[in-house]
Structure 1
Amino acid sequence: MQNAHYRIDYLIHGSYKTFYVHSSTMNKDEALHWATVDAGIAQIPKYRSDKVPRLTQKQAEQLGLTDVAWKSA
């Protein structure tokens, strides 16, 4: 499968943010994960092969991240 560019929009503490990511797949869970990473509330793996815990939507909302949306760029 080929990689594609995606635009991800979200709100963090009421402030609108947007960024682009290059990924082979995108869905609601992936968009939430990348939004938490971009917002600085999720852990970034030291190496690509490292597994890091992902935040749930409820956890992200408790930390102020809401309204995650994505589309192909």
Structure 2
Amino acid sequence: MAQDNHYRIDYLLQGLYRTFYIRAETMSHAEAWYWATVDAGLGQIPKYRNDKSPKLSKPQAESLGLTSVEWSLA
């Protein structure tokens, strides 16, 4: 079993600063954007692991008011 790490993700949603923590094996800029959309209520988590849920692209998320996504190892 792989070791999970704790990550801090910060973002702006319609000008309001938000932050949350998530545990994951790895993190990338694209994954941070995905989890920020989920935390903001804009994105979806698949019901089952093998389900394909649509992920919002960065331009789509920005058009909905989500900006300035940054992540770091917590």
TM over 0.5: yes
Q: Which runs of 5+ in 1 are unaligned?
A: none
**1:53: how far off?**
1.1
- Aligned residues, how many? 73
Cα distance in 1, alignment partners of residues 51 and 20 from structure 2 = 23
> Who is 2:35 aligned against?
34
Q: Which runs of 5+ in 2 are unaligned?
A: none
Give the TM-score normalised by the residue count of structure 2.
0.93
Tell me the percent identity: 60
Cα distance in 1, alignment partners of residues 63 and 45 from structure 2 = 19
**1:20: how far off?**
0.3
Query: Deviations 1:9-39 (Å, cap 9, x if unpaired)?
Result: 0000000000000001101000000000000
2:43 match: secondary structure? coil
Mean CA deviation greater in 8-17 or 46-55:
46-55
Please list, as runs of the form range in 1=range in 2, the aligned pairs for 1:1-73 lying within 5 A after superposition: 1-73=2-74
**1:49: how far off?**
2.5
Give the TM-score normalised by the residue count of structure 1.
0.94
Query: Deviations 1:48-72 (Å, cap 9, x if unpaired)?
Result: 3322111111000000000000000
